[in-house]
Structure 1
Amino acid sequence: MMASPYDGEVPRETSKHPLRALIAIATYNRAAELEALLSSLDPQAAALGADVVVVDNDAAGSARSIAEASPVVTRYVIEPEPGIAQARNRGLDEFDERYDVIIFVDDDEIAHTDWLQQHLDYLQSSGSDITLGAVYTEIPDDAPRWLREGGYLQRGIPPTGTVCPSAATNNTCVRRTAWIAAGSPRFNPAFSATGGSDTDFFQKLTERGLLIRFVAEAIVDEPTPATRLTRRWVARRMTRNGVVAGRVMAEREGRRAVVRYGFGEVRRGVRFVASDLRHRRPISATSSRTLLMGVGELYSVLGGRIYEYKRAK
């Protein structure tokens, strides 16, 4: 682990003045989803004095009409350079001294009515550096049986206060003073086409002494498109996550560490799958994820990449 930039104990802010929040939304060609998210933020953002910036990663400005028609949007900006990391960094550009916190939320989420309040209240009461909220996946009634019975797609929901090793930009709040003290890291564009720039970003923050705490009450819902209800999509996503994890680990611990860890995960995954089959139960998400994460980690050592977000030229 890298040395913390703080001298001694990491300072935690517990001041009771109202936190000024910036909600940053990166979007690309998701008009209906963006409109639903913005509707869910109204009126809670205005009630708590939060600004909302929509970063459109389409140079043609396809999200402009929706963003400008929404009463909740404070600023609409275009990031013409393609890439998730580039769009997220454009959001960070807006995160200046006017704000105490920045909240990242994906453009396909729908926030519960007290979502923002829950993030800010927990930050206030705990003095946390980063809060990670809950994401509930909405699985259609006609989803395949194996997907439902195996526990696929739904993310874990640990108790409030749980310290998490990393986070994603789908529902996460970062305190500005902590981010600055940690060196004001940015999202790495090397992950834009593959995904994983958020994993790398938040791991940098934890390595520099910041704590990520889970807030189970800060909830967003995530509808599941039909394209994600297939074995192929699920397996590809799990393997891709392994590739990302391998790349992040290799940068910090070297490729040999990735090989050791990857082989260990593959062995564990094989045991888990064999146990599922032996007991005549559906292969669980945990079993599949362990096996395919290991495969992805080993694939990353060979230079393998899965370009989930690569755009056609």
Structure 2
Amino acid sequence: MEAVKTAVQTAVKTSVKKGVSASKQPKICLIFATRGRAELLGKALAFVDMQTVKPDLIIVSCVTDEDVGNLASRPGLLVIKGRPGLTAQRNHALNHVPDGFDVLIFLDDDFLMHRTWTAAVLEAFDSDPSIACVTGMTLADGINGPGYSFEEGQKILAETNDIPQTMIAASTGGPYGCNMAFRVRSVAGLRFDERLVLYGWQEDRDFGGQIWNRGDRVVRINTALGVHLGAKGGRMSGRRLGYSQVINPLYLAKKKTMPLRDALDHVLRNVFSNITRSVAPESWVDRRGRLNGNLIGVWDFLRGRLTPERAEKL
């Protein structure tokens, strides 16, 4: 534990040398949970470097040395290794955030930030002390299609000049996990639910629901922009994802971190989509695998089994 503490102190001191003042408020810690995508992570970090307001510390939560490659020696970066799984890796990072930080940012390793993303988020927090969670707007989201190449995402950002002059903070049921920020004091004691295994699936909604249940605001703002590449490498199998599409929302409804109406909407939309598109599936989606997982999930639900961790065994 002493070695970890020393590593954290070294990373923070190095970031100060880079021009980020440790005495400036608020202090920002940015977290990536990644596995098997070191090259993509490096490209995402390049956009962090272009921020008008830079984080004081970056934590990369991974599983093996290969997950970060030569990025491990990057100044201002703390690399920690632990169990695989998005929720487990994010919690591992939360356990290593030093005292004295004010804002936590979670980014996917395939999210490219507009250079004013962090500044826009801080403006939102400054505007209303009841705002505990902020998520931004995606200019393009490859998760809904075959995905964008890095070059395509870079071009979209480069051509984005029309940033809204007036920030609008709209309350939302939950943040979008690829780009979300939290006040540290508002998430004290909270953790991501590790029963939501593998890629998580609705883990962001669950975490936001925990904040909402505390009476704090969860908002989406129109001024924190970025591109989610939706990279397909490292995703879970269609069968596992299909199971999670059914079980996870219903599990969250039981936990009361997602309204039952929203959970049913998630389930019905995904099952309907997998049924209709299984006839002529997209090349980048395992529709039949997802549908198979959907059916297993429905059968488990009818038997009274809300076991999101079962997805890991399918």
TM-score (norm 2): 0.64
Deviations 1:57-110 (A, max 9, x none): 23xx11343423544xx2323232222222101221133332101011111211
Show the counterpart of 2:225.
219
Q: CA deviation at 1:161?
A: 1.2
1:175 pairs with 2:183: yes
Q: Which of 233, 248, 251 is the matching residue for 2:252?
A: 248
Unaligned segments of structure 1, at least 5 residues? 1-16, 143-158, 275-287
Q: Which of 125, 133, 137 is the matching residue for 2:136?
A: 133
Question: Aligned runs of 1:1-313 on 2, under 5 Å?
Answer: 18-44=25-51, 47-58=53-64, 61-71=65-75, 74-127=76-129, 128-135=131-138, 136-138=140-142, 160-180=168-188, 184-193=189-198, 195-196=200-201, 197-225=203-231, 237=241, 240-252=244-256, 262=264, 266=268, 298-299=298-299, 301=301, 302=303, 303=305, 310=312
Aligned residue pairs: how many? 251
Amino acid at match of 1:187: F
Q: CA deviation at 1:126?
A: 2.6
Deviations 1:24-67 (A, max 9, x none): 1111111121011111101327x445321111123xx1134342
2:103, 2:183 within 8 Å by CA — same for their partners in 1?
A: yes
Question: 131-140 or 28-37, which moves further after superposition?
Answer: 131-140
- Tell me the distance in 1 between the aligned counterparts of 2:121 and 2:147: 30
Deviations 1:111-169 (A, max 9, x none): 11111111112111233211011233145699xxxxxxxxxxxxxxxx83111112243
- Tell me the distance in 1 between the aligned counterparts of 2:311 and 2:262: 28
Inter-CA distance 91–168: structure 2 relative to 1 (3 Å threshold): farther
- Tell me the distance in 2 between the aligned counterparts of 1:203 and 1:209: 10
TM-score (norm 1): 0.64
Unaligned segments of structure 2, at least 5 residues? 1-23, 149-166, 277-286
2:196, 2:308 within 8 Å by CA — same for their partners in 1?
A: no
- Identical-residue share of aligned pairs (%): 18
Show the counterpart of 1:281.
none
Inter-CA distance 94–122: structure 2 relative to 1 (3 Å threshold): same
Amino acid at match of 1:131: V
1:54, 1:76 within 8 Å by CA — same for their partners in 2?
A: yes
Deviations 1:229-287 (A, max 9, x none): xxx95x9857633321111112349xxx96997499749x97xx99xxxxxxxxxxxxx
Inter-CA distance 189–162: structure 2 relative to 1 (3 Å threshold): same
- Tell me the distance in 2 between the aligned counterparts of 1:226 and 1:95: 29
> RMSD across aligned C-alpha pairs, in angstroms?
4.3
Amino acid at match of 2:194: P
